[in-house]
Structure 1
Amino acid sequence: MEDFNKLLQELQQQEDLIQFIEFTNDTAYEIGTWLVDIGRREGKSFTVDICRNGQQLYHYALPGTTPDNDEWIKRKNRVVNRFNHSSYFMGIYYKSRNTTIEEKHFLNPEEYAPHGGSFPIIIKNVGVVGTITVSGLPQEEDHRLVVQVLMEFLGL
């Protein structure tokens, strides 16, 4: 339980720190391309998706991905858009309370996936306006990759 609480604090700190002043279509392109470049360079297989206010601004599937990755992205994005936290945060939250998204909120796990990889696009003094999502790696790695790129992008 204590490990979960520490991890939840770390994940909350990431969300408190990784915030934008603005998020344009060009921002989505730059971040998406950065993620894809890392995947190519490291020989990884994942799909990248960036949405703002319900509009998909960037989507790319590296070789080796399948339509299943797109479905995981949709399910992870629903979690972020519903709870305004990263999908990984929510997954750890449920584990820390020994429950599931279905038991706690009566949400269908076929529609909502509280698994790592979707991070909220947070505008300072505004709130969550979208999602940056990776699907295809182990969930902790999906999450870590997005966070790493966002921190570098923002110079943190």
Structure 2
Amino acid sequence: MSSSPTMEDLLAEEASLVLDRFDYASAWDLGVRIRSVASERRLPIAVEVFHGTAPVFFALLPGATPDNSEWIRRKRAVALRFHHSSLYMRLACESKGVTLSERYGLPETEFVASGGAVPIFVRDVGLVGVATVSGIPDVEDHQLVVSAIHDLRGGF
């Protein structure tokens, strides 16, 4: 994926990320994969993986702050509400020249259209979770999650 993905790129990417299964063990593994890559690259991120409504994995790496946790919460809310990545929703709003708040009447304290939250879908089931990163530029947050989901998918 390019450093400037289009909405079409992101829709195709979402379709390629559908998993055959996703349980607590795979949610934990996904979080560990993201954390390992980030630690290796010395990225100052927070990472969270939700399964259903439950947080299964959370970590703050050196350089991240509690504020990153708030960004994660707000990005996750977008992915759960719209069943699209928070980056896709940012581009969708930008294409209309509006903010998420203006378009959908959502409070900015609860929702943010900034890349980094990627919904997790299971084939023939639907949305089962969200993996979210915050701390680096939003397209990079997004790409870090997507790369780990691709790796996880290959491991099944």
Superposed, which structure 2 residues align to 1:74-89 within 5 Å? 74-89=73-88
Q: TM-score, normalised by structure 2?
A: 0.93
Superposed, which structure 2 residues align to 1:137-148 within 5 Å? 137-148=136-147
Q: TM-score, normalised by structure 1?
A: 0.93
Q: CA deviation at 1:152?
A: 2.0
Tell me the alpha carbon deviations over residues 6-45 of structure 1, each in whole angstroms, 9 at most, x when there is no partner. Answer: 7001100111110111111110111111111111111111
Residue in structure 1 matched with residue 35 of structure 2 by the alignment: 36
Tell me the alpha carbon deviations over residues 85-139 of structure 1, each in whole angstroms, 9 at most, x when there is no partner. Answer: 0000000000011111111110011210110000001011121121000010100
Stretches of 4+ moved more than 4 A in 1?
none
Long gaps (5+) in structure 1: none
Q: How many residues align?
A: 152
Of all paired residues, the percent bearing the same amino acid is: 33
1:134 and 1:77 map into 2 onto residues whose CA distance is 9
Cα RMSD after superposing both structures? 1.4
Q: 1:50 aligns to what SS in structure 2?
A: strand
Q: 1:122 aligns to what SS in structure 2?
A: strand
2:74 and 2:146 map into 1 onto residues whose CA distance is 19
Superposed, which structure 2 residues align to 1:54-93 within 5 Å? 54-93=53-92
1:140 and 1:122 map into 2 onto residues whose CA distance is 20
2:151 is aligned with what amino acid?
A: E
Long gaps (5+) in structure 2: none
Residue in structure 2 matched with residue 13 of structure 1 by the alignment: 12
2:96 is aligned with what amino acid?
A: R
Residue in structure 1 matched with residue 98 of structure 2 by the alignment: 99
